[in-house]
A and B are shown apart, each in its own frame.
Chain A
Amino acid sequence: MTALTRTNPSPSSPAAGFGVGRTLRLGASRIAYETRIYFRQTDTLFFTFLFPVIMLTIFSVAFQGMGNVGANPDGTGGISQAAAYLPGMIAAGILLSGVQNLGVDIANERSDGTLKRLGGTPLPVLSYFFGKMGQVFVTSVLQIGLLLLVASVVFGVALPTDGGSWMTFAWVYVLGIATSAVLGIAISRLPRSGKSATAVIIPPILILQFISGVYLQFSLLPDWLQNVAGIFPLKWMGQGMRAVFLPESFAAVEPGGVWDLGSVAIALLVWLVAGLVVCRLTFRWIRKDS
């Protein structure tokens, strides 16, 4: 160790600002930092980033022999198993990248002292949130891109070609990922320790995937279970994505016989706002008197 020099090369002007500009600049820098760390964690890479691709592959291969979904009695028509599973896997990816990733990640950061350390620095809480949400957005775009690539190249799923479908995709995706990220930050309060984080957060998310039409065809679930799933956002993300990727005729098996995108938008918005309120009210760098 050597002594530090006294010289103070760039005395910044005192008004060099703790305003919005700084919050955004630090937020942008946090996105790069958080994203870099994300890809260094092999467990997140497997259970969050690659999970939907792996599940799509398994289901598509396993159920190939059952023929097409929604085929005519003579076996013609319908769509491949991969095409049928794709919308649900995209919705699951959105949920995992936001809720599971941030829920576990922030619970760990709270428990290992990262948040406490950050709380002692002049980092604005908002910049920290921007960093997390930016990381979720970047990694999730890559994840969905990979899913679409594998679906179309490996399993020959025909992707939509009309602008309208992709517009729907864009807003369902943006609303879905924003809601997921916010809910991830909100539920990171629940685990009491970093060790219990995965045990507390992963099981409910897994159950949600089973009842929300990710692994099991939603229209085959009993009404009461559909209604339970309808409370949570994943069902609505899945419904929105089915509207994008499935043929129009498949709307007939949806509840009410239509895609009902209006309800998708409302349900996701309600969850987004609720999540923001919970974050605003409950997020602290540390549990003050633990």
Chain B
Amino acid sequence: MTSADTAVSVEGLTKSYGAFAALKGVTFDIARGETFALLGPNGAGKSTTIEILEGYRDRTGGEARVLGVDPQHGGLEWKAKLGIVLQSSGESGNVTVREQLTEFANLYPNPRSVDEVIAAVGLEQKAGTRIKNLSGGQRRRVDVALGVVGRPELLFLDEPTTGFDPEARRAFWELIRGLKRDGTTILLTTHYLDEAAQLSDRAAVVAGGELVDIGPVHTLGPDEARVPIVRWSENGVVREQRTPDPGRVVADLFARLGEPAALEIVRPSLEDIYLELVSSYEREQEQVPA
């Protein structure tokens, strides 16, 4: 990728707090227009990474470019191209939704229409309500609205759908797809793997401050991890077999046992693959004490 096509470029990124290494050399690029998800357990380094890229934290080592600028030295013009949805909102909120959005829109050179953004996050009925009187999920939608009102080129979403009900989450996905169609580059962290699968072009799994895997969501994990499992019950004992040819295994079973009890063929979900990635990383760490 040339730098003109790259929205975010990170190489060998490290971050230490005293003796604790929160990031141990993370490398990835995000292309312009791409939606990229950072997955990982709590404390894996997702938020540290995103906050370094947003300019909130200084890195200890490595390189980082965000829209062509070192985020440690990003000025106002650089910030005008970013939209940031932080992990926690929790503002006192003695202003109404519309007042807050108007105030923030005012900060950007070319903002979206406030009413359009309020409609986009489904808060038309609450536009005149003070933010402190909203529910948690509604406040989160205000956060998202504040993140997109400045018409950002690059949008950071740090666990954006925490506290959303399933319906709001689906609606939020639609909103993100719309932004993506507009060419917005999006960096998303999430605990919800279905969310990453729904939205992102590529994802990276972070564990213990290291990048464990990166790629299009459906290619994550070792190939073996995606091998289907045939499971059945034989003489009251649950048996299972991993096989790339589940049809043949079932045919053999049928030939041997007749109709097998409790037969199922399971393709590992993204969640299974993810959990396997993280736990195999953790097993490795135990074997090689730091």
Residues of A within 8 A of B (CB): 1-6, 8-12, 16, 18, 26, 29, 33, 36-37, 40-41, 108-109, 112-114, 116-117, 119-124, 286, 288-289
A122 and B90 within 8 A (CB): no
A289 and B57 within 8 A (CB): yes
Cα distance, A8 to B89, chains bound together (Å): 28
- A14's closest neighbor in chain B, by CB? B109
Q: B119 touches which one: A2, A29, A109, A289 (CB < 8 A)? A: A2
Question: Can you list 30 A-B pairs with a CB-CB distance of less than 8 A?
Answer: A1-B120, A1-B122, A1-B168, A2-B119, A2-B122, A3-B178, A4-B112, A4-B117, A11-B110, A12-B109, A29-B103, A36-B99, A40-B94, A109-B92, A112-B92, A113-B90, A116-B56, A117-B84, A117-B146, A119-B56, A120-B79, A121-B79, A121-B150, A122-B80, A122-B107, A122-B108, A123-B76, A123-B107, A288-B56, A289-B58
The reply to whether the CB of B91 lies closer than 8 angstroms to some CB of chain A is yes
Knowing A4-B182, A120-B79, the reply to whether A113 touches B112 (Cβ < 8 A) is: no
Contact-residue size bin, chain B (C-beta under 8 Å from the other chain): 35 or more
Knowing A4-B148, A29-B106, the reply to whether A114 touches B120 (Cβ < 8 A) is: no
B122 and A112 within 8 A (CB): no
A275, chain B: closest CB distance, angstroms: 25
Cα distance, A76 to B103, chains bound together (Å): 58
- B83's closest neighbor in chain A, by CB? A120
The reply to whether the CB of B272 lies closer than 8 angstroms to some CB of chain A is no
User: Residues of B contacting A121 with CB < 8 Å?
Assistant: 79, 84, 104, 107-108, 150
Q: Chain A at the B interface: mostly helix, strand, loop or mixed?
A: loop
Cα distance, A149 to B84, chains bound together (Å): 47
A122 and B76 within 8 A (CB): yes
Knowing A1-B174, A4-B175, A112-B91, the reply to whether A120 touches B56 (Cβ < 8 A) is: yes
- B87's closest neighbor in chain A, by CB? A113
A117 and B120 within 8 A (CB): no
Which 4 pairs, one residue from A and one from B, show the smallest C-beta to C-beta distance?
Answer: A3-B178, A1-B171, A120-B84, A122-B80
The reply to whether the CB of B210 lies closer than 8 angstroms to some CB of chain A is no
Residues 173-195 of B contacting A (Cβ, < 8 Å): 174-175, 177-179, 181-182
A289 and B86 within 8 A (CB): no
User: Residues of A contacting B77 with CB < 8 Å?
Assistant: 18, 122
A113 and B171 within 8 A (CB): no
Cα distance, A12 to B92, chains bound together (Å): 33
Knowing A37-B95, A120-B82, A121-B107, the reply to whether A1 touches B57 (Cβ < 8 A) is: no
Cα distance, A265 to B177, chains bound together (Å): 61
Q: Choose among B54, B79, B171 the residue with the greatest number of A CB atoms under 10 Å from its CB.
A: B79
User: Residues of A contacting B151 with CB < 8 Å?
Assistant: 8
The reply to whether the CB of B36 lies closer than 8 angstroms to some CB of chain A is no
